Protein backbone atom coordinates (compact mmCIF):
# COMPACT_ATOMS: atom_id res chain seq x y z
CA UNK A 1 0.00 0.00 0.00
CA UNK A 2 2.94 2.35 0.27
CA UNK A 3 2.07 5.19 -2.06
CA UNK A 4 5.27 5.61 -4.13
CA UNK A 5 4.30 3.54 -7.15
CA UNK A 6 0.57 4.24 -7.49
CA UNK A 7 -0.41 7.59 -5.99
CA UNK A 8 -0.03 10.28 -8.63
CA UNK A 9 -0.84 13.98 -8.35
CA UNK A 10 -2.61 14.14 -11.72
CA UNK A 11 -4.48 10.79 -11.81
CA UNK A 12 -7.81 11.95 -10.36
CA UNK A 13 -9.14 12.22 -6.81
CA UNK A 14 -7.00 10.49 -4.20
CA UNK A 15 -9.82 8.36 -2.85
CA UNK A 16 -10.44 7.01 -6.37
CA UNK A 17 -6.76 6.11 -6.70
CA UNK A 18 -6.79 4.37 -3.33
CA UNK A 19 -10.00 2.56 -4.22
CA UNK A 20 -8.37 1.33 -7.41
CA UNK A 21 -5.27 0.18 -5.52
CA UNK A 22 -7.38 -1.72 -2.96
CA UNK A 23 -9.56 -3.36 -5.56
CA UNK A 24 -6.46 -4.44 -7.49
CA UNK A 25 -5.30 -6.02 -4.24
CA UNK A 26 -8.57 -8.00 -4.14
CA UNK A 27 -8.28 -9.00 -7.82
CA UNK A 28 -4.71 -10.16 -7.35
CA UNK A 29 -5.64 -12.16 -4.26
CA UNK A 30 -3.44 -10.04 -1.94
CA UNK A 31 -6.61 -9.23 0.00
CA UNK A 32 -8.57 -12.45 0.28
CA UNK A 33 -12.33 -13.00 0.46
CA UNK A 34 -13.58 -12.90 4.04
CA UNK A 35 -10.38 -11.33 5.42
CA UNK A 36 -10.41 -7.93 7.12
CA UNK A 37 -8.98 -4.86 5.41
CA UNK A 38 -6.26 -3.14 7.44
CA UNK A 39 -7.83 -0.61 9.83
CA UNK A 40 -8.51 2.88 8.46
CA UNK A 41 -5.83 4.54 10.56
CA UNK A 42 -3.22 2.00 9.40
CA UNK A 43 -4.06 2.59 5.73
CA UNK A 44 -3.94 6.33 6.41
CA UNK A 45 -0.54 6.12 8.03
CA UNK A 46 0.99 3.87 5.33
CA UNK A 47 -0.36 5.94 2.45
CA UNK A 48 -0.08 9.36 4.05
CA UNK A 49 -3.70 10.03 3.05
CA UNK A 50 -6.23 11.50 5.45
CA UNK A 51 -8.67 9.20 7.23
CA UNK A 52 -11.52 10.97 5.45
CA UNK A 53 -10.02 9.97 2.09
CA UNK A 54 -9.45 6.39 3.25
CA UNK A 55 -13.03 6.16 4.54
CA UNK A 56 -14.38 7.49 1.24
CA UNK A 57 -12.41 4.87 -0.74
CA UNK A 58 -13.70 2.05 1.47
CA UNK A 59 -17.28 3.32 1.33
CA UNK A 60 -17.09 3.36 -2.44
CA UNK A 61 -15.83 -0.27 -2.46
CA UNK A 62 -18.69 -1.19 -0.12
CA UNK A 63 -21.24 0.41 -2.45
CA UNK A 64 -20.06 -1.87 -5.24
CA UNK A 65 -20.13 -4.95 -3.02
CA UNK A 66 -16.35 -5.45 -3.11
CA UNK A 67 -16.02 -5.02 0.65
CA UNK A 68 -18.53 -5.43 3.44
CA UNK A 69 -18.55 -2.98 6.36
CA UNK A 70 -19.44 -4.44 9.73
CA UNK A 71 -20.48 -2.14 12.54
CA UNK A 72 -17.76 -2.00 15.18
CA UNK A 73 -15.41 -4.52 13.56
CA UNK A 74 -14.21 -2.83 10.40
CA UNK A 75 -14.33 -3.80 6.73
CA UNK A 76 -13.92 -7.20 5.15
CA UNK A 77 -13.29 -8.35 1.62
CA UNK A 78 -16.67 -9.59 0.36
CA UNK A 79 -16.92 -13.32 -0.02
CA UNK A 80 -18.49 -13.00 -3.44
CA UNK A 81 -18.08 -10.86 -6.51
CA UNK A 82 -20.92 -8.38 -7.15
CA UNK A 83 -24.14 -10.16 -8.04
CA UNK A 84 -26.07 -10.06 -11.28
CA UNK A 85 -29.59 -8.67 -10.85
CA UNK A 86 -31.87 -10.90 -12.87
CA UNK A 87 -35.47 -9.91 -13.44
CA UNK A 88 -38.05 -12.64 -12.88
CA UNK A 89 -40.71 -10.86 -14.92
CA UNK A 90 -39.13 -10.86 -18.38
CA UNK A 91 -38.69 -13.87 -20.62
CA UNK A 92 -35.15 -13.46 -21.91
CA UNK A 93 -32.27 -15.72 -22.83
CA UNK A 94 -28.90 -16.01 -21.15
CA UNK A 95 -27.19 -14.50 -24.22
CA UNK A 96 -29.56 -11.51 -24.22
CA UNK A 97 -29.19 -10.99 -20.47
CA UNK A 98 -25.41 -10.84 -20.71
CA UNK A 99 -25.34 -8.70 -23.85
CA UNK A 100 -27.61 -6.15 -22.15
CA UNK A 101 -25.06 -5.87 -19.34
CA UNK A 102 -22.16 -5.49 -21.74
CA UNK A 103 -20.81 -8.89 -20.70
CA UNK A 104 -19.58 -11.57 -23.04
CA UNK A 105 -21.50 -14.83 -22.84
CA UNK A 106 -19.93 -18.14 -23.70
CA UNK A 107 -20.82 -21.81 -23.24
CA UNK A 108 -19.06 -25.11 -23.01
CA UNK A 109 -21.08 -28.11 -24.20
CA UNK A 110 -21.69 -30.87 -21.69
CA UNK A 111 -24.16 -32.75 -23.89
CA UNK A 112 -25.81 -32.09 -27.25
CA UNK A 113 -27.77 -34.74 -29.08
CA UNK A 114 -31.06 -36.59 -29.65
CA UNK A 115 -32.27 -38.99 -26.98
CA UNK A 116 -35.21 -41.10 -25.84
CA UNK A 117 -37.07 -38.88 -23.37
CA UNK A 118 -36.93 -39.53 -19.63
CA UNK A 119 -40.28 -39.84 -17.80
CA UNK A 120 -39.79 -36.25 -16.53
CA UNK A 121 -39.29 -34.97 -20.07
CA UNK A 122 -42.36 -36.88 -21.37
CA UNK A 123 -44.46 -35.16 -18.71
CA UNK A 124 -42.94 -31.69 -18.95
CA UNK A 125 -42.96 -31.54 -22.74
CA UNK A 126 -46.30 -33.38 -23.13
CA UNK A 127 -44.66 -35.86 -25.53
CA UNK A 128 -46.20 -38.86 -27.22
CA UNK A 129 -44.66 -42.22 -26.17
CA UNK A 130 -42.57 -42.61 -29.35
CA UNK A 131 -41.22 -39.06 -29.42
CA UNK A 132 -37.55 -38.13 -29.11
CA UNK A 133 -35.90 -35.10 -27.52
CA UNK A 134 -33.05 -32.77 -28.36
CA UNK A 135 -30.94 -32.21 -25.28
CA UNK A 136 -28.58 -29.29 -24.82
CA UNK A 137 -26.51 -29.20 -21.66
CA UNK A 138 -24.17 -26.28 -21.28
CA UNK A 139 -21.89 -24.67 -18.76
CA UNK A 140 -22.67 -20.99 -19.25
CA UNK A 141 -20.20 -18.24 -18.52
CA UNK A 142 -20.22 -14.46 -18.35
CA UNK A 143 -16.91 -12.78 -19.16
CA UNK A 144 -15.37 -16.26 -18.81
CA UNK A 145 -16.69 -16.73 -15.26
CA UNK A 146 -18.88 -19.85 -14.94
CA UNK A 147 -22.39 -18.85 -13.83
CA UNK A 148 -24.76 -21.75 -14.44
CA UNK A 149 -25.25 -25.23 -15.80
CA UNK A 150 -28.31 -25.41 -18.04
CA UNK A 151 -29.90 -28.60 -19.34
CA UNK A 152 -32.54 -27.82 -21.93
CA UNK A 153 -34.83 -30.47 -23.46
CA UNK A 154 -36.97 -29.80 -26.51
CA UNK A 155 -39.12 -32.09 -28.58
CA UNK A 156 -37.42 -32.90 -31.89
CA UNK A 157 -40.55 -31.46 -33.53
CA UNK A 158 -39.47 -28.09 -32.12
CA UNK A 159 -35.71 -28.55 -32.54
CA UNK A 160 -35.04 -31.36 -35.05
CA UNK A 161 -31.27 -30.91 -34.93
CA UNK A 162 -29.55 -29.81 -31.70
CA UNK A 163 -26.37 -29.06 -33.66
CA UNK A 164 -28.21 -26.03 -35.08
CA UNK A 165 -27.62 -24.35 -31.73
CA UNK A 166 -24.14 -22.92 -31.68
CA UNK A 167 -24.43 -20.04 -29.25
CA UNK A 168 -28.06 -19.05 -28.56
CA UNK A 169 -30.98 -21.46 -28.36
CA UNK A 170 -33.54 -18.64 -28.35
CA UNK A 171 -31.99 -17.15 -31.48
CA UNK A 172 -32.46 -20.48 -33.30
CA UNK A 173 -36.05 -20.76 -32.02
CA UNK A 174 -36.76 -17.17 -33.06
CA UNK A 175 -35.46 -17.87 -36.57
CA UNK A 176 -37.91 -20.76 -36.93
CA UNK A 177 -40.85 -18.76 -35.51
CA UNK A 178 -40.86 -20.81 -32.28
CA UNK A 179 -39.64 -18.26 -29.74
CA UNK A 180 -41.48 -18.85 -26.46
CA UNK A 181 -43.67 -16.00 -25.21
CA UNK A 182 -44.50 -17.27 -21.73
CA UNK A 183 -42.74 -19.42 -19.15
CA UNK A 184 -43.22 -20.91 -15.72
CA UNK A 185 -40.18 -20.91 -13.51
CA UNK A 186 -39.58 -22.73 -10.26
CA UNK A 187 -36.60 -21.86 -8.04
CA UNK A 188 -35.31 -23.85 -5.10
CA UNK A 189 -32.20 -23.79 -2.92
CA UNK A 190 -29.57 -26.52 -3.05
CA UNK A 191 -26.05 -27.24 -1.88
CA UNK A 192 -23.79 -27.84 -4.84
CA UNK A 193 -22.61 -31.42 -5.26
CA UNK A 194 -18.88 -31.93 -5.82
CA UNK A 195 -18.96 -32.35 -9.61
CA UNK A 196 -21.31 -29.39 -10.07
CA UNK A 197 -19.24 -27.18 -7.78
CA UNK A 198 -16.14 -28.09 -9.74
CA UNK A 199 -17.73 -27.06 -13.04
CA UNK A 200 -18.92 -23.80 -11.49
CA UNK A 201 -15.50 -23.18 -9.96
CA UNK A 202 -16.71 -22.84 -6.35
CA UNK A 203 -16.24 -24.80 -3.15
CA UNK A 204 -18.25 -28.05 -2.84
CA UNK A 205 -21.37 -27.64 -0.72
CA UNK A 206 -21.74 -23.97 -1.54
CA UNK A 207 -25.25 -22.60 -2.02
CA UNK A 208 -26.80 -22.86 -5.45
CA UNK A 209 -30.20 -22.34 -7.04
CA UNK A 210 -32.03 -24.99 -8.96
CA UNK A 211 -34.22 -23.39 -11.60
CA UNK A 212 -36.76 -25.18 -13.76
CA UNK A 213 -38.20 -23.30 -16.69
CA UNK A 214 -41.01 -24.56 -18.90
CA UNK A 215 -41.73 -22.19 -21.74
CA UNK A 216 -44.64 -21.96 -24.14
CA UNK A 217 -45.71 -20.72 -27.56
CA UNK A 218 -48.68 -18.35 -27.94
CA UNK A 219 -50.92 -21.37 -28.75
CA UNK A 220 -49.98 -23.08 -25.45
CA UNK A 221 -47.59 -25.67 -26.89
CA UNK A 222 -44.50 -26.36 -24.74
CA UNK A 223 -41.22 -25.27 -26.29
CA UNK A 224 -38.51 -26.09 -23.76
CA UNK A 225 -38.09 -27.73 -20.39
CA UNK A 226 -34.84 -26.48 -18.87
CA UNK A 227 -33.31 -27.59 -15.60
CA UNK A 228 -30.54 -25.31 -14.45
CA UNK A 229 -28.20 -24.89 -11.55
CA UNK A 230 -27.10 -21.32 -10.90
CA UNK A 231 -24.35 -20.17 -8.58
CA UNK A 232 -25.91 -18.89 -5.38
CA UNK A 233 -23.20 -16.27 -4.90
CA UNK A 234 -23.57 -14.75 -8.35
CA UNK A 235 -27.25 -13.87 -8.68
CA UNK A 236 -29.99 -11.77 -7.15
CA UNK A 237 -33.37 -12.65 -8.63
CA UNK A 238 -35.72 -9.69 -8.62
CA UNK A 239 -39.49 -9.65 -9.02
CA UNK A 240 -41.84 -6.70 -8.82
CA UNK A 241 -44.86 -7.35 -6.61
CA UNK A 242 -48.15 -5.49 -6.68
CA UNK A 243 -50.97 -5.40 -4.18
CA UNK A 244 -53.41 -8.17 -5.02
CA UNK A 245 -56.90 -6.85 -5.73
Select from 10-18, 51-59, 60-68, 91-99 the region that touches ligand 16G (CB under 6 A): 91-99
234 binding ligand 16G? (CB under 6 A): no
Single residue of 95, 134, 153, 155 touching ligand 16G by CB under 6 A:
95
The reply to whether 228 sits near ligand 16G by the rule CB under 6 A is: yes
How far apart are CB 191 and ligand 16G at their closest, in Å? 19
Q: Which of residues 150-179 bind ligand 16G (CB under 6 A)?
A: 150, 152, 168-171
- Contact with ligand 16G (CB under 6 A) among 202, 224, 229, 235: 224
CA 229 and chain centroid, separation: 10
Per CB under 6 A, 231 contacts ligand 16G: no
Number of residues that bind ligand 16G (CB under 6 A): 14
For every residue of the chain, which 3-state class applies, written as one string? CCHHHCCCCCCCCHHHHHHHHHHHHHHCCCCCCCCECCCHHHHHHHHCCCHHHHHHHHHHHHHCCCEEEECCCEEEECCCCCCEEEECCCCCCHHHHHHHCCCCEEEEEEEEEEECCCHHHHHHCCCCCCCCEEEEEEEEEECCEEEEEEEEEEECCCCCCHHHCCCCHHHHHHHCCCCCCEEEEEEEEEECCHHHHHHHCCCCCCEEEEEEEEEECCCCCEEEEEEEEEECCCEEEECCCCCCC
Q: Which of residues 64 and 120 has its CB atom nearest to ligand 16G in the complex?
A: 120
Closest CB 118 distance from ligand 16G, rounded Å: 17
Which is closer to ligand 16G, CB of 127 or CB of 169?
169
Residues 5 to 64 in contact with ligand 16G, rule: CB under 6 A = none
| Footprint on residues 175-214 left by ligand 16G (CB under 6 A) | 211, 213
Binding site for ligand 16G (CB under 6 A): 93-95, 150, 152, 168-171, 211, 213, 224, 226, 228
Amino acid sequence: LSPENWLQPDAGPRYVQLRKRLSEGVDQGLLKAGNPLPPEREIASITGLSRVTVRKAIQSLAQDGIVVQKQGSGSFVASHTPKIEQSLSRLTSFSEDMARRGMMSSSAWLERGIFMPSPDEVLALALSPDASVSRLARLRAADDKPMAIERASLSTEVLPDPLLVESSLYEVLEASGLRPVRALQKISAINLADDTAKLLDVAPGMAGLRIERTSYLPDGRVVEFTQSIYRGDAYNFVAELRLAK
